[in-house]
Chain A
Amino acid sequence: MIAIVDYGAGNLTSVARAVSFLGYTPRVTRDPAEIAGADRIIFPGVGAAGSAMTGMEERGIDGAMKQAFGAGTPMLGICVGCQIIMDKSQENDARCLGLIPGEVHAFPEKMDSGDGYPLKVPHMGWNGLEVVQDHPLFQGVGKDDEFYFVHSYFPVPKDPKAVFGRTDYGVTFASAIGTDNLFATQFHLEKSGEPGLLILKNFCVWKPC
C-alpha cells in the first residue's frame, strides 16, 4: 500500500490520481499507525512549510514519518514535502522534520531576469533539471526534460551529497534531494507530464539499499 499523507497541505487528489493512473493503489491517510506501517509513503503539499508542519504535528504524523524514515520505508516528498524534511524553514522560521540537515531559503528579492525587469516570484511554470548525481528515480529521465514548479522557497542541504538535481531561476537551487530511503522533488511530479510520471513510477518500484 502506498500511503499519501494527508496533513492538510493541499491537493492530494492529483497525486493519488497519478499513482492510480500508473496502476498502483494509493491510500490517502492521516492515520499515524497506517503511515508508519505503509509499504511506501508519498507526502505532497502546497503552501507554507510552517502550516504544513503544524498540520503534521496536530495529527501526530511527524512521529510516524520519522519512524518510517528510520525503518527504511521508501519515502517521496513533493513541493512543500521537499521542504519539511529539512531542519527549518526561513518561512515564518518554521521548525521542520530534520531528516536532511539544512534549511529552506526564500528566493532573493529582485533577481535579475536579464532584460531589465526583476524575475517574478513565485517561480511558476516549467523549468529544467540538471542531474548532478545519479539516482534510481532518475532512470529514463532525459536531459531536455522539464518539470512544473510553483514555489517561493527551496531547500538548501548542508551536505552536497544530498543534492541530486539542480534548477536555475535567478539562483541555482537544489530541486531534487535525498538520502537513504528518502527522495524529494521541489517540482510537482503529478503535474510534469510524462517525465514526472516516470519519476513517480520509478519511486513505486524503488528498493533503497
Chain B
Amino acid sequence: MLSKRIIPCLDVREGKTTKGVKFQNNVEIGDPVEMARFYYEAGADELVFYDITASHEKRDIMIDVVKRVAETIFIPFSVGGGIRTLEDMRTVLLAGAEKVSVNSAAVKNPDIIRQGAQAFGNQCVVLGMDVKHVGQKEGIPSGYEIVINGGRTYMGMDALEWAKRAQDLGAGEICLNSIDADGTKDGYEMNLTRLISDAVDIPVIASGGAGTPSHLADILTQGRADAALIASMVHFGTYTVNEIKGYLQEKGVKVRKTW
C-alpha cells in the first residue's frame, strides 16, 4: 500500500533558505544543501525547493544549489519558482531535480504544462497553485481564486477549474497552497484540499498552514491529500519528521517507516 508522503519545503533566496509568513518578512534559516541532507537523514519522503530569488539574473545560484542537492540526497525533489520556459524546466531537471513545478508561468501560459509533459513526461511536471478564498462569485464558482505574485495579484481564475484543466494538459501532480492558511500554523485549508482532491485523479500535495502533526493527520485522511508539505514546524525544530510520522502511524495513516 502506498505511503502518504511528508515533504519539507525550503524557500531559497539567493542560495539561502528563508521562511516567511503569508509570503512576507522572510528570515534566513540556513544552507539549503545542508538542510536537504538533514531532512533526507531525518526521514523526509521528498523535498520541495522554491526559488524566491527576485532577480532572474541570479537564477544560476539556484541551479548550483540544485546540482549540489542532487549529489547529496537520494530521494525525489522538485524545484519551482521562476520557471518560465521549457528551457528553464530542462535546466532544472538536468541539474538533478526529479520534478519541476510551474505556477505563475502556467497561469499566464497554460501550454507550458503540455509542452513540459510532452518533453519530460507527466510525472516531471507539478502544477503549483496559490489559492485564496474569495467566496462564490461570477467566474469563481468554487469560491476559490487563483492568485500569483505571492498572493498580491488576483487572476480571475477559478481554482477548481484550473486544477482540472492542468490535469488535462498533462500535469502529473498538484501542489495546492492556500494563501489564507500559509504560515498561520492553524492547519491546512480542509475544504479547498478536499474539493481539489475529489475532482482530479492526479496526486495532490496539501500546502500551507501546518502547525501540529494532527493537522497532517486531518488533511491526509479527511482532506484526501496524497502528501503534505511542511515548513515552519520542522525548520525551527518544533517537531522532527519522524515525530510527525510516528504520530501519523498511531492515527492509522500509512507512512514510510524511517525510524
Residues of chain A having any CB pair with chain B under 8 Å? 10-11, 13-14, 17-18, 20-21, 46-47, 117-118, 120-128, 144, 146, 148, 150, 168-169, 188, 190-194, 196-197
Contact = CB atoms under 8 A, between A and B. Distances in A.
Interface in B70-85: 70-71, 74-76
13 contacts: A10-B121, A13-B94, A46-B121, A121-B201, A123-B2, A124-B172, A127-B2, A188-B76, A190-B74, A191-B75, A193-B74, A193-B75, A196-B74
A124 B123 contact: yes
B209 to A, nearest CB: 22
A67 B227 CA distance: 44
Contacts of A150: 123
Contacts of A46: 121, 123
A14 B203 contact: no
Given A21-B71, A126-B5, A14 B98 contact: yes
A144 B70 CA distance: 25
B203 A120 contact: yes
Interface of B: 1-3, 5, 40, 45, 70-71, 74-76, 93-94, 96, 98, 121-123, 172-173, 198, 201-203, 224, 226-227, 256-258
Contacts of B5: 125-126
A146 B74 contact: no
A148 B76 contact: yes
Given A20-B71, A193-B40, 4 more contacts: A122-B123, A125-B3, A126-B256, A169-B1
Contact of B96 (A17, A120, A125, A169): A17
B40 to A, nearest CB: 7
A188 B3 CA distance: 16
A46 B121 CA distance: 8
A146 B226 CA distance: 16
Nearest to B198: A117
Nearest to B258: A193
B40 A120 contact: no
B75 A146 contact: no
A21 B203 contact: no
Contacts of A122: 122-123, 172
Contacts of A120: 201-203, 226
A-B pairs, 5 with minimum CB distance: A126-B256, A126-B3, A146-B256, A144-B257, A150-B123
A14 B92 CA distance: 13
A126 B98 contact: no
A125 B226 contact: yes
A20 B67 CA distance: 14
Nearest to B75: A193
B203 A124 contact: yes
A127 B198 CA distance: 22
Given A146-B256, A191-B98, A192-B74, A125 B2 contact: yes
A146 B3 contact: yes
B93 A127 contact: no
A124 B226 CA distance: 10
Q: Identify the interface centre among B40, B76, B198, B201: most chain A CB within 10 Å of its CB.
A: B76
A150 B256 CA distance: 16
A125 B254 CA distance: 12
B1 A168 contact: yes
Contact of A127 (B1, B70, B76, B258): B1
Nearest to A10: B121
A121 to B, nearest CB: 8
A191 B2 contact: no
A150 B202 CA distance: 12
A98 to B, nearest CB: 25
